[in-house]
Structure 1
């Protein structure tokens, strides 16, 4: 990949390529093919949360808590949509000129709050900026929804809403600005094609903080509650797999070769990780399970996400294998050895997977056909150093900010329901409904 092409792809991912095209003599109007694809990709990414993630998580919990999980995902989708319009998009993607002195590298400010300055003819590269806003909104929806899997079966619903709302504006939107909105990590050259840092690392670290501060479920480590509906798990996982093509291939922001390659490597990593996970589980427990192969698929998707624009199919195969082994080991470490009740393994699968993909991509960028390579004069070690700085910064901010947010939430409402409500199940105790 030449330096010029890499630069164009970078500014395209930041949603500010229109001025570059104008200077180069390109017309500032929407490309119909690109626009049609991103419209489709936007719908696919929303499909990942509703119903994909909701069913995936819902099938993994006890029957008395399935509706609470669906409710949490649905309510988060609604609340994040409103907050993204009010301020989240502006914090993430405004140019920062309206921010305080020196703050433009940290956050975008509020100049685009309520889509200020965005009209029907305002462009973001070759697509309307309003469409870019919607595409990015679906990322802002699924990221806090991922955290749901960590605290299921004992969380207070009001705490979910308060934490998710503040977290979007304090953690997710600023990190998005750092990486995709022209912030300081973007200036350093951090690569995150579709959200290994912005989505998976932030959600993974924050989920770990949440469950440590909230505490374990009653009977954790003693009473075993298997997933109440593995069929729901598989259906939800299949929806995630399909929707992830919008997540990763859509992040090329155009109907082009980059999108095609991202789709190829996304599918390759997911299929590889799912099959390898099944083999690991089969060897360890003597039986391959539907829940296991579906979990492996999600690990493969999370791990390829940051690297989908940086590796070819050969690199994706390696990432898939590593995702299965590393995330499987992370589950054992977190749940069994450290006895942390991250209920549905959000940190082990999404956090570890996203970080792994972010760190390994420089070493696979030149491997095999279709590999885009590194920038001219850049070594894998140079790129790895930049990636490591990005990981440390994003994880540290997610950790510190989440602790502060949760302490604030605890001043308003408890993080978890009482023992009686937990035993009864959140469906009935919190929402007055049952799935039976």
Structure 2
């Protein structure tokens, strides 16, 4: 009797090798998804923690870094307690899922399912089956958690150097619950925009447009930094800022490469396009600085890098390489123009103190990327990823191509409108409980007053803060709050 042919599947991939390897598990996909999640997590901690702590004035380094660190930790707990199922669970409303915990092993060890993602055609037949990646729910919960976390960390960039840290501690869970989960379910979890065919490959709308609009809105309600800080706000460590920016750039491989939920060819396309667009955008922004300001700005280069990464995100695995270059040229020039030209001429933009320009680098770039995705999404690449198999960008013709641009516009307007309203309500409610803005004494001193800690212990600004006294001591001046509430220098 002839021996049976050898099993063509490597032993490591064979089902039944242990109880921890169920038949549906693909170890390659699971391994890549966990790596991608870790890369995205590193973008926040330590990436944006380092970037924020370095790009601000020295007296705000600790506070800025801590806002990012706190947000990351708070989101993790809120996400597994109720946020994940609100974003990817069963439908409660067309734009919102039913909340619930994602903590028990019975749920977390199951084969991943995104229950509301089955796409039906016009005649009621299944066009695309429910999304079911070949790894456990625990992997999906963690992967989506780091996306939720970095969204709020990005939002924090608009509020640095003046938001009351206790108000921020309240803001994080409220905004995650009432804003982020709505965008995530609507566009990713099987909500109405998902099934209508709005494209957001990896978060141009869910993450960047929402954080940019919400950050700008919250900055309006919190109010501006102190006049002294607005007039002069130099980074305290440009080299460390570049280290944080580098972590952000390299981490984007997980950000865009992980969203096919598989280590497949579309993931490879997304990672390459991401780097093409980011590099192009950085170069364009830098040359615009040279042309108009006669000097290349390192901070400007970082901003150009970020706008390129943001712009490619909604279409990373759906556009061709030449389109990624075009998107990089536009992401390096359009946000540059809104930040350097329009911002200086707009009374509204001047009035709202968006500390790191998150409105320009994320809201403008995110909306731009979403619209360009509607133009350049390639039909074959769309079929690899999207639930609506007839999806295509405007340059590829047909009625679907023209409709896609309209869908992208409507999806962007929904995210903008929702975040304007919800963020406003959240800020007003918090302000009823605790002031959104730091007291003037803390604004004057910074980290030592807010946390009792300083970023650089070997030297300082000379200010000292004694919470038991009503005055602030400085090496050169004695400052007392006057009876009218204004500050007098004696």
Structure number with the bigger relative contact order (C-alpha 8 A, sep ≥ 6) is 1
Which deviates the most, 331-340 or 82-91?
Answer: 331-340
The Cα shift of 1:220 comes to 6.5
Count of residues paired in the alignment: 402
Is 1:393 the counterpart of 2:414 in the alignment?
yes
Q: Distance in 2 between matches of 1:44 and 1:414?
A: 35
The counterpart of 2:110, out of the listed 97, 121, 128, is 121
Q: What CA distance in whole angstroms lies between the structure 2 residues aligned with 1:390 and 1:28?
A: 38
Matched, 1:417 2:438: yes
Residue matched to 1:8: none
Larger radius of gyration: 2
Residues 395 and 36 from structure 1, CA distance in 2 versus in 1: closer, same or farther, beyond 3 angstroms? same
Give the Cα separation in 2 of the matches to 1:73 and 1:210.
16
Unaligned runs of 5+ in 2: 1-21, 114-132, 385-389, 393-397, 457-490
Structure (1 or 2) with the greater helix fraction:
1
Whether the aligned pair in 2 keeps the contact of 1:278 and 1:288 (CA below 8 Å) is yes
TM-score (norm 2): 0.79
Distance 1:161 1:279 in 2: 40
Query: Which of these residues, 93, 98, 106, is aligned with residue 109 of structure 1?
Result: 98
- Determine the C-alpha separation between the residues in 2 that align with 1:268 and 1:175: 27
* Alpha-carbon separation, structure 2, partners of 1:54 and 1:143: 13
Q: Is residue 2:333 matched to residue 1:344?
A: no
Native 8 Å contact 1:30 1:123 kept in 2: no
Equivalent residue number for residue 277 of structure 2: 269
| 1:384 to 1:286, Cα distance in 2 relative to 1, 3 A | same
Deviation of 1:28 after TM superposition, in Å, equals 5.8
Partner of residue 64, structure 1: 59
Residue 120 of structure 1 deviates from its aligned partner by 1.6
Q: CA offset at residue 111 of structure 1?
A: 4.7
The reply on whether 1:48 has 2:48 as its aligned counterpart is no
Q: 1:178 aligns with which of 186, 206, 220?
A: 186
Structure 1 residue runs of 5 or longer lacking an equivalent are: 1-26
- Which residue is 1:211 aligned to? 219
CA contact (8 A) 1:64 1:424 kept: yes
RMSD of aligned alpha carbons: 2.0
Q: 1:312 to 1:220 in 2, by over 3 A?
A: farther
Say whether the 8 Å CA contact 2:252–2:309 is kept in structure 1: yes
Offset at residue 309 of structure 1 (A): 2.3
Aligned equivalents of 1:330 and 1:419: distance in 2?
A: 31
Q: After superposition, what is the alpha-carbon deviation per residue over 1:167-209, rounded to whole angstroms, capped at 9, x for unaligned?
A: 0000001210111110111111111010011000110110111
2:224 equivalent to 1:224? no
Match of 1:358 among 370, 378, 385: 370
After TM superposition, list the pairs within 5 Å mapping 1:223-372 onto structure 2: 223-332=231-340, 333-334=342-343, 337=346, 338-339=349-350, 340-366=352-378
| Counterparts in 2 of 1:119 and 1:365: CA distance versus 1, 3 Å | closer
TM-score (norm: length of structure 1): 0.88
1:4-43 matched pairs, under 5 angstroms = 29-43=24-38
Deviation of the 1:126 alpha carbon:
1.1
Task: Tell me, yes or no, if structure 1 residue 405 matches structure 2 residue 426.
Answer: yes
**Larger deviation, residues 239-248 vs 209-218:** 209-218
